[in-house]
Amino acid sequence: MATIYQVSELAGVSLATVSRVMNKNTRVSDKTKQKVLDAMEQLGYKPNSIAQSLASNCTNSVGILVSELHGPFFAQMMAGIESELRAAGKHVIITTGHSEEDKEQEGIEFLISRRCDAIILHVEAVSDDYLIKLSKGSTPVYLMSRYVEQLKDNCISLDNQLGGYLATKSILNQGHTQIAYIAGPQFKADAFNRLEGHKQALVEAGIKLDPTLFYIGDFNETGGSKGLKHFIDEKLSFTALVCANDEMASGAMKYAREHGYNLPNDLSIVGFDNVIFANYLYPTLTTIDNPVGKMGEMAAKLVLKDVYQNKNLVINRFFEPTLMQRDSSAPLIK
Amino acid sequence: MATIYQVSELAGVSLATVSRVMNKNTRVSDKTKQKVLDAMEQLGYKPNSIAQSLASNCTNSVGILVSELHGPFFAQMMAGIESELRAAGKHVIITTGHSEEDKEQEGIEFLISRRCDAIILHVEAVSDDYLIKLSKGSTPVYLMSRYVEQLKDNCISLDNQLGGYLATKSILNQGHTQIAYIAGPQFKADAFNRLEGHKQALVEAGIKLDPTLFYIGDFNETGGSKGLKHFIDEKLSFTALVCANDEMASGAMKYAREHGYNLPNDLSIVGFDNVIFANYLYPTLTTIDNPVGKMGEMAAKLVLKDVYQNKNLVINRFFEPTLMQRDSSAPLIK
DNA sequence: TTGTAGGCGTTATCAT
DNA sequence: ATGATAACGCCTACAA
């Protein structure tokens, strides 16, 4: 691998001059510039980004921590972040936290030790205090789908309460009044706020939240099937089921069908997130669109603006979910 | 950020000694070792991995190029690679190629310029010759789901032909003889070999490949729906449909259902890959399990063994797919 | 076992 | 506009 020094020799200029033509900021005479360019070409010179990083104290890399690499939700998010960053010549270092506190912390330290210029986190287990302390360090921290008041300028978040509200509201609008709800783990802010929205819609409609028609799932498919099983086993009466995410909705749909339910006539089901497979389900799943891809792009833009001085980028830190009415929910048949 | 120099000062030893306690290979007396450890602790010292990389000419990072970040197929693969590598203290730099030749090449150069210790590629558009030339460079290259004879030691691949064979064979075993096939883009080796397997099964059963019951799709959902539409519009007679991947199978299932087909009685459908949502479809999709996650882990192990001298790892470069018989295919009803 | 010193390939600050 | 030269933080012969 050719070095900058060899280029300078072949071009008959100093090493500093070569560096200058690479970092286009300072002026170099056209003649010498051409000599340098030719020399680079001839040697097939590629700058060593590691050395550049060490000297400039800038790695051009941003760390990303997600809960899981598989899973449609994170995939969309990463795709958004990567494409935006890549276009700006930055690269991403991706690691996982598995929604466990120690693994999340370990992942974060890992990214920091790698000297990322910034880190974008989708963390669930770690505490607000930890994040606040973390953000006082020298590596800028950005949060996806998590809102921490003291860090609000660095948060890209979704109005989960609005989403929860829209989901239940859509069911209420279809005439349902006996509505079961399968929530996500309540330590996750997303899950908590979605439930808040559910409650809000019920209150607004003058309906009491029936504590028996409430189940806390695990955000996985099994959570949905177990939840529905629970409601059925208890012989409860309900015509609609709202789930705090699509995976659980899918599990519930499957369980319902296996137990002779005709969907959506016997039971209306609504999910949340609009992950890719929501549209593959049968019937296609009515859900709340969570624009994670767009949010990922925005997080990347925010980093580009804050950390890489890309001034004229317009930032929107707050996204609103929308209802995707499909076939898994339908007006109540009396 | 504390440097190794500050640690050495506080510990009252030389800088080299500090370096030694970090790189546990050379012996240091317990007493001085403890002094150093204490000093590190006190200063909250974290080695600068960039400087380490420059000095040691090892970045502890491996580059990964996939076609897409979203998409269940790649997600599984990356999850496998990342978990294995992460456990060994290496990290992954991920980028995308979008199945386009220039983007794939650009991605590869990008990873190399980052001085990755190795790169793991899932490329589709780039030529074998390019890969062969690439592998002569200083960065070790590993290929996922692509077999290039000259690079065979660095390939982790699936027996796609066997998979294609198993898919069609399963349908034949169920008594079907009029079998439509929706292939993937034939420039992709996976797609080509799956088709070969299909042909092989037909030949073995003494059935001629009916060229009218053949359609080339795009590996996306629309490819499946378009393919089935084509067969139906042409008023062709067939009782089973084999698709070269699950996305297309899903599209075909959807189209079939929308057009009054009762699945699987009116039409048996088989996919390929066993991506996550295959089990979410209705009816659940009979498909060929493609162990991408395991293959990702294996690719990581191969890198660990070759590049990072992790001697005692057992490598298996060749994976065999298996049939996942589910509900979308059933014995032919006469 | 420990210390000294040169080198890794750049960037950046001085001069000139 | 260009050229020396000192960082950047660490590794690693080579010496002691």
B281 contacts A276? CB cut-off 8 A: no
Question: B39 CA, C14 C1': separation in Å?
Answer: 35
Mutate to test the interface with B, among A61, A68, A70, A81 (most CBs of B within 10 A): A70
Query: Can you say whether the dihedral through the CA atoms of B148, B149, B155, B159 is positive or negative?
Result: positive
Q: Is the pLDDT of residue A334 over 80?
A: no
Nucleotides of strand C lying closer than 7 angstroms to a protein CB:
1-5, 7-13
Looking at residues A106-124, what average pLDDT do you find?
93
Looking at residues A182-210, what average pLDDT do you find?
95
The answer to whether B247 and B309 have CB atoms below 8 angstroms apart is: no
For strand C, is any atom closer than 7 Å to the CB of A19?
yes
What is the tens place of the pLDDT at every residue in B248-268? Answer: 999 999 999 989 999 999 999
| Mean pLDDT, chain B, whole residue set | 94
Q: Is the pLDDT of residue A25 over 80?
A: no
Looking at residues A138-152, what average pLDDT do you find?
94
pLDDT at B276: 84
Q: Which amino acid is at B50?
A: I
* B146 vs A24: which has the higher pLDDT: B146
Rounded Cα distance between A191 and B190, Å, is 40
For strand D, is any atom closer than 7 Å to the CB of A31?
yes
B76 chain-A contacts, CB cut-off 8 A: 70
Residue of A nearest to B68 (CA): A79
Looking at residues A172-192, what average pLDDT do you find?
95
Q: Is the pLDDT of residue B295 over 80?
A: yes
Pairing relationship of beta strands B287-289 and B322-324 according to DSSP bridges: antiparallel
Looking at residues A59-76, what average pLDDT do you find?
90
For tokens 């310029």, what's the residue?
A: B113
Residue of A nearest to B109 (CA): A46
Looking at residues B270-298, what average pLDDT do you find?
94
Rounded Cα distance between A173 and B281, Å, is 28
Q: How many other C-beta atoms can be found within 10 angstroms of the C-beta atom of residue A6?
A: 16
What are φ and ψ of residue A331, in 5° steps?
A: -55, 145
A293 chain-B contacts, CB cut-off 8 A: 70
Residue B51 zone, left/alpha/beta (φ > 0; ψ -120 to 50; rest): alpha
Smallest Cα–C1' distance to nucleotide D7: which residue has it?
A: A55
Q: How far is A210 from chain B (nearest CA, A)?
A: 30
Residue of B nearest to A221 (CA): B280
Question: B44 CA, D9 C1': separation in Å?
Answer: 16
pLDDT at B25: 75
Beta-strand runs (E) in chain B: 61-66, 91-96, 118-121, 141-144, 155-158, 179-183, 214-216, 240-243, 268-270, 287-289, 318-319, 322-324
CA A116-A118-A124 angle, 5° bins: 105
The answer to whether B260 and B276 have CB atoms below 8 angstroms apart is: no
Query: Can you say whether the dihedral through the CA atoms of A253, B77, B86, A296 is positive or negative?
Result: negative
pLDDT at A113: 87
DSSP H helix total and E strand total for chain A: 12, 12
Q: Which two tokens stand for residue A276?
A: 């890719």
The answer to whether A180 and A236 have CB atoms below 8 angstroms apart is: yes
pLDDT at A73: 84
For strand D, is any atom closer than 7 Å to the CB of A56?
no
Looking across all nucleic acid strands, the nucleotide with the smallest C1' to CA distance from residue A8 is D3
Task: Tell me if the bond preceding B283 is cis, omega within 30° of 0.
Answer: yes
- What is the Cα A237 distance to its own chain's centre? 36
What is the tens place of the pLDDT at every residue in A299-320? Answer: 999 999 999 999 889 999 999 9
Q: For residue A308, give Cα distances in angstroms to A84, A124, A312.
A: 13, 27, 11
Q: What is the DSSP string of A11-53?
A: HTS-HHHHHHHHSTTS---HHHHHHHHHHHHHHT----HHHHH
A282 chain-B contacts, CB cut-off 8 A: 257, 281-282
B91 chain-A contacts, CB cut-off 8 A: 93, 95, 110, 114
What is the tens place of the pLDDT at every residue in B35-81? Answer: 999 999 999 999 999 999 999 999 999 999 999 988 788 999 999 99
Rounded Cα distance between A134 and B260, Å, is 57
For tokens 């519009």, what's the residue?
A: B233
B112 contacts A46? CB cut-off 8 A: yes
Q: How far is B270 from chain A (nearest CA, A)?
A: 16
Q: Which of A159, A158, A168 is nearest to A286 (CA)?
A: A168
Q: Is the pLDDT of residue B239 over 90?
A: yes
Residue of B nearest to A281 (CA): B281
pLDDT band at A187 (very low <50, low <70, confident <90, very high): confident
The answer to whether B237 and B264 have CB atoms below 8 angstroms apart is: no
